[in-house]
Structure 1
């Protein structure tokens, strides 16, 4: 799967992005999600749930790929 995620600000935290995608339902679940899944931002493992994601970053979550775009 290859999808675009549209954001309205200069960045979004990885925890909020994963919640926006719908993979978790609460912000508190992100810690467990990051521990139990393979998540990469531009091929780098995020350091925590507040790691910032910027437009044009590529996010890998297990076998799915997402590209972050800024709303125009």
Structure 2
């Protein structure tokens, strides 16, 4: 599991996917979410604006498993 460090209280899911190098654009993030390829804390997630906080675990098909970490 890779840790992704954020420098604020939270990060939105679409921004997180770009930061984790799973997608390169917001449009790609939307497509990945619509395909059902993203789980947050073991629950399917389709909202690009979902706020992620330190400790959240994100699983992305064909990309890996990540944990949000505080700075």
Bin the TM-score by the shorter chain: 0.7 to 0.9
Superposition TM-score, scaled by structure 2 size: 0.86
- How many positions carry a matched residue from both structures? 70
Secondary structure of 1:29's aligned partner:
helix
Structure 1 runs, 4 residues or longer, greater than 6 Å off: none
Give the equivalent residue in structure 2 for 1:31: 30
Alpha-carbon shift at residue 4 of structure 1 (Å): 0.3
Answer yes or no: is the 8 Å Cα contact 2:36–2:45 preserved in 1: no
Q: What's the C-alpha RMSD, in Å, of the aligned pairs?
A: 1.5
Consecutive unaligned residues in structure 2, runs of 5 or more: none
Consecutive unaligned residues in structure 1, runs of 5 or more: none
